[in-house]
């Protein structure tokens, strides 16, 4: 019998902001910044209580190995999930985390090859984000099965 796959999780709490547009078709960002400009069209949450180096150690370790990343954004009772691949690197940026549709990796990358970006979020969720409500972001990583 194969060993059970261990899913690791962490939760970030932030806030929405009136300037959230969530219109970027390539990325989705969570930031610790207190303010969002309308130019930040990929940002879905600000005032995050943590970023890359502050994530749970087991989750950071899992991001360095092949696996699936799932990010669930929930605000005002509405949630949406984004699924991508691990970046095979640890995010070290102390201010932001980025989910990308591409394979590009930098110090803020949480996931690559994502199935959604900010523009793909349901508009009722984006409306709640614009209300400035509390945003809960649940991140989970499921390692690929060992070969």
Query: What is the C-alpha to C-alpha distance for residues 1 and 38, in angstroms, rounded to an integer?
Result: 52
Name the average pLDDT for the chain: 94
The band of 145, judged by pLDDT with boundaries at 50, 70 and 90, is confident
Match domain 8-142 to its CATH number in 3.40.50.1010, 3.50.50.60, 2.60.120.630, 1.10.8.190. 2.60.120.630
pLDDT digits (tens, 9 = 90+) for 57-86: 999 999 999 999 999 999 999 999 999 999
Q: How many residues comprise the chain?
A: 147
Query: What is the C-alpha to C-alpha distance for residues 107 and 127, in angstroms, rounded to an integer?
Result: 29
Q: For residue 66, what are the CA distances in angstroms to 1, 72, 78?
A: 22, 20, 30
**Given this model, what pLDDT does residue 1 score?**
45
The band of 5, judged by pLDDT with boundaries at 50, 70 and 90, is low
Query: What is the C-alpha to C-alpha distance for residues 55 and 94, in angstroms, rounded to an integer?
Result: 10
**Given this model, what pLDDT does residue 33 score?**
96
Q: How far is CA 71 from the centre of its chain?
A: 5
The band of 4, judged by pLDDT with boundaries at 50, 70 and 90, is low
- pLDDT-above-70 percentage for the chain: 95
pTM: 0.94
């Amino acid at each position: 019998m194969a060993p059970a796959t261990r899913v690791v999780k962490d939760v970030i709490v932030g806030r929405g902001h009136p300037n959230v547009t969530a219109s970027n078709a390539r990325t989705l960002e969570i930031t610790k910044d207190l303010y969002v400009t309308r130019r930040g069209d990929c940002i879905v949450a600000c005032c995050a209580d943590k970023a890359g180096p502050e994530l749970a150690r087991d989750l950071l370790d899992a991001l360095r190995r092949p696996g699936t990343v799932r990010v669930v954004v929930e605000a005002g009772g509405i949630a949406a999930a984004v699924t991508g691949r691990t970046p095979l690197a640890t995010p070290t940026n102390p201010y932001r985390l980025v989910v990308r549709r591409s394979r590009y990796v930098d110090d803020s990358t949480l996931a690559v090859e994502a199935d959604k970006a900010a523009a793909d979020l349901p508009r009722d969720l984006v409306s709640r984000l614009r209300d400035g409500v509390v945003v809960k972001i649940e991140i989970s990583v499921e390692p690929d099965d060992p070969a």
